[in-house]
A = this chain, B = another copy of it.
Amino acid sequence: MHDHLSQTFQALADPTRRAILAKLSMGEANVSDLAKPFLKEMSLPAITKHLKVLENAGLVTKTRDAQYRPCKLNGAPLKDATDWIEHYRSFWEESLDRLGEYLKTVTAKEKETTKKKKTAKGKSHGRKK
């Protein structure tokens, strides 16, 4: 929890916070501007807290302009996050790696069964929640 990467992923693990970042990617915005799309679902202090999480993760920088707090997105921490994930790219690209042969066999079988009949359901991996 203390390490930088965990903090970044933790900050991203919430749809409201990701939506705030999305909004900030279109330009600077102050708190109430950012809050507006969410005020039907949650209160302003809730947004303040989300912003604090993003700020602590270094993803957002808040400045001062009169009563306003213009926020801007800082993408730097995202670089470390994406660098970490990138290390695993071969595991979603089906390329041959140490597990390549095994994985390829499994996925090939799965594709074959899906292909068999158009009526097959498809996306489920048989995992339960």
- What 1/0 flags go to A2-25 for Cβ under 8 Å of B? 010111011011110010010001
**Interface size in chain A (residues, C-beta < 8 A):** 63
In the bound complex, residues from chain B placing their C-beta under 8 Å from that of A7 are 13
A6 touches B1 (CB 8 A): no
Question: When chains A and B are docked, how far (Å) is the Cα of A95 from the Cα of B75?
Answer: 8
Question: When chains A and B are docked, how far (Å) is the Cα of A66 from the Cα of B18?
Answer: 43
In the bound complex, residues from chain B placing their C-beta under 8 Å from that of A10 are 9-10, 13
A118 touches B9 (CB 8 A): no
User: Interface residues, chain A, CB within 8 Å of chain B?
Assistant: 1, 3, 5-7, 9-10, 12-15, 18, 21, 25-30, 33, 55-56, 58, 61, 65-66, 68, 70, 72-76, 78-79, 81-82, 84-93, 95, 98-99, 102-103, 108, 111, 114-115, 117-118, 121-122, 125, 127, 129
Q: Which 8 A-B pairs have the closest CB atoms?
A: A75-B91, A75-B92, A9-B13, A10-B13, A79-B92, A9-B12, A27-B114, A82-B85
